[in-house]
Structure 1
Amino acid sequence: MDRRTIDPDLQRALIEAAHAAADAARDVILPYFRAPLVVDNKRPADFDPVTEADRAAERAMRDVFANLRPDDGILGEEYGATSGTSGLTWVLDPIDGTRGFISGTPTWGVLIALQDEHGVLLGVIDQPYIGERFVGGFGTARMSGPHGEMPLRTSTQTTALGDAILLSTFPEVGSPVERAGFEAVSKLCKLTRFGMDCYGYALVATGQVDLVIEAGLNAYDIAGPIGVIEAAGGVVTSWDGGVAHHGGRVVAAANAQVHAEALKILEPFNDSV
């Protein structure tokens, strides 16, 4: 399905379905947060935690889409891919930032994206504990939370890396080469902070920070943030300026000027991983 053929009524129905899925995930997840919790390790070589909250939230969202959008495909972190016939696919990360979740920090979130063969059409970042939801796509870029509902707009004031605030989840970022690329940008920025999980991308959309640079992402880690940030006026690409919705190495920037400066610094690090 070409995005240009999605009429306004269908757009509204898709946005409503995304909200319904985010609501369902909230209801399932919150009783697990800061409560006794069994944590399994999906990758024994290091530590890749998963909990029943992750699994239950994805099941709840899949149930919503099975009811409201049965012809759409689904790609989820915990239960993989389910094919559809509509040309649309929901990309789900039930808890992005499970390490933060089990640590009790409110930096994790529920990520929902809708995409077609060309890329992301709609994105949601939801932080259930704080009660904040960030939605972008189909001409919508809004957030709701403790301060009410308001539009989302990335910052246009910071146009130089020397004034920029940079976020990433892990200090090690990725491979040694990717770490070196990140550090090359970081040393030029005004401030660098770590540990934000998906909440860092939401802060780009609000205009609070200017850059998120990460590596080693999966599609479900970045599709939702792409929808939100691009709708709010930002730019999200791979380190070489290509599409980012497949994952990998990602630069999310508040505006084209900061994005271009970051890519220029990262360019020497693109040939090696």
Structure 2
Amino acid sequence: MSLATPLPPHDADRLVAAAMAAADVAGCVIRPFFRMGVAADDKSDQSPVTIADRTAERAIRAVLAERLPDHAVLGEEFGLERGGARYCWVIDPVDGTRAFLTGRPIFGTLIALLQDGEPVLGIIDQPVTGERWIGVRGRPTRYESRWPGTAGTRECPEIGLAELSCTSPEMIADAPTPHWDALRRHAKRVTWGGDCYSYGLLALGQVDIIAECTMKIWDWAALVPVIEGAGGRVTDWHGRPLHADSDGTVLAVGDPALLPGVVSLLTTGSPKHA
């Protein structure tokens, strides 16, 4: 958990309002393209990108530039603007483009704010189901939805009782250690798919552990305030805080008691250090 100072209430409210407005605009852009057979281009890393990704990021940037013109913005599709500012917004307009392309409503828009390089605000927005998670450092995570539910991770101190999630087996093929399968064998069960939506489910107490790799800063920055504000922890596979130069591994646990054992499994293949 970060020990940095929480945002002052007035600043936090103003920044949350800007992030919410940006998420609202992105949703208006994305929804008309959903299940409409939009074409996808392959980027240099072979990941797909669509008109929805690009247009939504432009819309988010426009809202933030209007409201907070002195802040930097880093987006997956269009890079960095106004670098060097103390505050930097980090955007993934459609996290889970493969899910979006195949009509699965488990993608999301991620909007984060970094203060001096640390995530202090994060939004996970699912524009089709109407779900939104709002995390602010120093505050409990808020969950907004047409369905009943309250943000909060669940108690699950034993790996053998834990629900484990990961976006895809292909992701694990590029893991920096060979021990992910040891975690899978110790967990109660594993489910695949979900992208950022799985992290929202962890913040609702539906999932207990998520361990992924090849993650860029726009993939994880918004998740940190959401999950930590719901009572969980987010680190790399070694249990270290995430930062811009992290190795791409991301570990999220709902019950902080899980963290030492899961880190040990991912790094050594054993639930306890020798």
TM-score surpassing 0.5?
Answer: yes
1:1-273 aligned at under 5 Å gives the runs 4=5, 6-43=7-44, 47-83=46-82, 86-138=85-137, 139-147=139-147, 151-156=150-155, 158-175=156-173, 178=176, 180-246=178-244, 248-268=248-268
CA–CA distance in structure 2, aligned partners of residues 48 and 113 of structure 1: 21
CA–CA distance in structure 2, aligned partners of residues 179 and 196 of structure 1: 22
1:222–1:245: 8 Å Cα contact kept in structure 2? Answer: no
2:154–2:208: 8 Å Cα contact kept in structure 1? Answer: yes
Query: CA shift at 1:186, angstroms?
Result: 0.6
2:162–2:188: 8 Å Cα contact kept in structure 1? Answer: yes
Q: For the structure 1 residues 80 and 154, does the alpha-carbon distance in structure 2 shift closer, same or farther, using more than 3 Å as the test?
A: same
CA–CA distance in structure 1, aligned partners of residues 174 and 122 of structure 2: 31
The Cα offsets for residues 130-158 of structure 1, whole Å up to 9 and x where unpaired, read as: 0000111141411111225x5411112x1
2:7–2:120: 8 Å Cα contact kept in structure 1? Answer: no
Number of corresponding residues: 264
The Cα offsets for residues 40-63 of structure 1, whole Å up to 9 and x where unpaired, read as: 11137xx31000000000000000
Segments of 5+ residues of structure 1 without an aligned counterpart are none
CA–CA distance in structure 2, aligned partners of residues 117 and 23 of structure 1: 26
Query: CA shift at 1:211, angstroms?
Result: 0.6
Corresponding residue SS for 2:41 = strand
Segments of 5+ residues of structure 2 without an aligned counterpart are 270-274
2:177–2:266: 8 Å Cα contact kept in structure 1? Answer: no
Matched-pair identity in %: 39
More strand by share: 1
2:164–2:207: 8 Å Cα contact kept in structure 1? Answer: yes
Corresponding residue SS for 1:216 = coil
- Residue identity opposite 1:240 in structure 2: H
Q: For the structure 1 residues 110 and 10, does the alpha-carbon distance in structure 2 shift closer, same or farther, using more than 3 Å as the test?
A: same
2:174–2:214: 8 Å Cα contact kept in structure 1? Answer: no
Q: Which is worse superposed, 169-178 or 90-99?
A: 169-178
